[in-house]
């Protein structure tokens, strides 16, 4: 289901105060959008890097625990990896039955990493948009896609609250898409763990084949992605559809693309097995979340980054980009 502006009423917040925890990418945008929507907003931030920008925007930031105590609707807009600890230590003591905790990502809730006091509603309002654009599109009244869900409805009125927040941050203009923390987290992780690695691996294989016939690194890499042409194609695909944007290419290109697609589409995709394993065994089972919450995960991230850099494609890219 898609909730439109007519389904979402900011007035459902009534006299409640909204607390924004964190003034980073999403926090800065959502705090300003809610304020401009006429909602009373308190911003909670450590006296740290983002304290200054919040104060400059006129929010008079308070300690996180104080905001959790004073607000009845609390938006948790700090990085996912620090949320469990901050929630347990600084939010939980101030959250009371009848309050609402609003998540912008399903990950921690989906994998059971957040402890939220009983009687507190838990909802998700998750923009599919970077914070800067959440603000710009609000100002331009353009809207942006957003997933909404109710994860725990202790009060019986969690949906109107979730939709009021969606409306207040400008996420109902294009319609807010009903989802769940599990679905949002799994889709996000699948894109990261299956689709993007497949694209990077595909580019690496394509580079090797073209390099073998002696084409230059500069030409290959600009043709493949350094020109940013794929970004243009994806933007048109979002507008007209993957096949719908084909007429923007030459007839030679269209014939070549459809001919290749017919051949590749006719055989079993060798990636399907990998995709299924990633979705079921790594993501939905919770195995990936458990692995990523281990203390040694950060060191593994750096090892994987170093290993990826050794691929010839990335070596060529560094040379071409002069970096």
**Residue closer to ligand NDP (CB basis): 108 or 161:** 108
Q: Confirm or reject binding of residue 131 to ligand NDP (CB under 6 A).
A: yes
Q: Confirm or reject binding of residue 38 to ligand NDP (CB under 6 A).
A: no
User: What gap in Å lies between CA 313 and CA 323, rounded to an integer?
Assistant: 14
Q: Confirm or reject binding of residue 27 to ligand NDP (CB under 6 A).
A: yes
Smallest CA-to-CA distance from 150 within 182, 172, 174 is with 182
Q: Using the rule CB under 6 A, which residue among 7, 10, 46, 271 binds ligand NDP?
A: 46
- 44 has which bridge partners? 21, 62
> Per the structure block, which two tokens stand in for 79?
């990085």
The answer to whether residues 141 and 112 touch, using CB atoms and an 8 Å cutoff, is no
Q: Which stretch binds ligand NDP (CB under 6 A): 47-55, 92-100, 152-160, 205-213?
A: 47-55
Smallest CA-to-CA distance from 6 within 167, 126, 217, 181 is with 167
Q: Which stretch binds ligand NDP (CB under 6 A): 22-30, 149-157, 172-180, 278-286?
A: 22-30
Q: Confirm or reject binding of residue 50 to ligand NDP (CB under 6 A).
A: yes
Q: Confirm or reject binding of residue 30 to ligand NDP (CB under 6 A).
A: no
User: What gap in Å lies between CA 17 and CA 20, rounded to an integer?
Assistant: 10
Q: Using the rule CB under 6 A, which residue among 130, 195, 231, 299 binds ligand NDP?
A: 130
Compose the 237-266 pattern: x for residues touching ligand NDP by CB under 6 A, - for all others.
Answer: ------------------------------
Q: Using the rule CB under 6 A, which residue among 25, 37, 100, 161 binds ligand NDP?
A: 25
> Per the structure block, which two tokens stand in for 178?
């009903």
Q: Confirm or reject binding of residue 77 to ligand NDP (CB under 6 A).
A: yes
Half-sphere exposure of 121 (CA within 13 A, CB side): 23
Distance of CA 124 to the CA centre of its chain: 12
Considering the complex, what minimum distance in angstroms separates the CB of residue 108 from ligand NDP? 8
Q: Confirm or reject binding of residue 94 to ligand NDP (CB under 6 A).
A: no
Sheet holding 73-76, edge to edge: 2-3, 176-178, 146-152, 121-127, 100-103, 73-76, 18-21, 41-44
Considering the complex, what minimum distance in angstroms separates the CB of residue 246 from ligand NDP? 30
User: What gap in Å lies between CA 305 and CA 195, rounded to an integer?
Assistant: 18
Q: Confirm or reject binding of residue 66 to ligand NDP (CB under 6 A).
A: no
Q: Confirm or reject binding of residue 111 to ligand NDP (CB under 6 A).
A: no
List interacting residues with ligand NDP (CB under 6 A).
22-27, 45-46, 48-51, 77-80, 82, 86, 104-105, 126-127, 130-131
């Amino acid at each position: 289901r898609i909730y439109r502006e007519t389904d979402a009423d900011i007035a459902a917040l009534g006299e409640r105060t909204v607390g924004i925890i964190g003034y980073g990418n999403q926090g800065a945008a959502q705090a300003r959008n809610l304020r401009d929507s006429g909602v009373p907003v308190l911003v909670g931030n450590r006296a740290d890097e983002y304290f200054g920008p919040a104060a400059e925007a006129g929010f008079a930031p308070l300690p996180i625990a104080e905001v959790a105590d004073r607000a009845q609707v609390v938006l948790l807009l700090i990085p996912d990896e620090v949320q469990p600890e901050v929630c347990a230590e600084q939010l939980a003591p101030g959250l009371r039955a009848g309050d609402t905790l609003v998540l912008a990502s399903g990950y921690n809730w989906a994998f059971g990493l957040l402890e939220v006091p009983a009687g507190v509603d838990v909802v998700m309002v998750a923009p599919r948009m970077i914070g800067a654009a959440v603000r710009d599109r609000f100002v331009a009244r353009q809207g942006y896609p957003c997933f909404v869900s109710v994860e725990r409805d202790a009060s019986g009125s969690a949906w109107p609250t979730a939709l009021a927040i969606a409306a207040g941050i400008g996420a109902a203009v294009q319609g807010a898409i009903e989802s769940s923390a599990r679905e949002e987290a799994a889709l996000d992780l699948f894109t990261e763990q299956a689709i993007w690695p497949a694209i990077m691996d595909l580019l690496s294989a394509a580079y090797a084949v073209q390099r073998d016939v002696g084409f230059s690194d500069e030409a290959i890499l600009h043709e493949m992605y350094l020109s940013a042409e794929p970004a243009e194609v994806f933007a048109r695909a979002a507008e007209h559809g993957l096949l719908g944007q084909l007429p923007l290419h030459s007839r030679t290109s269209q014939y070549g693309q459809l001919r290749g697609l017919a051949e590749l589409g006719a055989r079993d995709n060798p990636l399907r097995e990998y995709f299924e394993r990633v979705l079921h065994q790594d993501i939905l089972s919770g195995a990936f979340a458990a692995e990523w919450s281990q203390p040694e995960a950060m060191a593994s991230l750096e090892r994987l980054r170093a290993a990826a850099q050794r691929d010839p494609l990335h070596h060529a890219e560094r040379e071409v980009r002069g970096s």
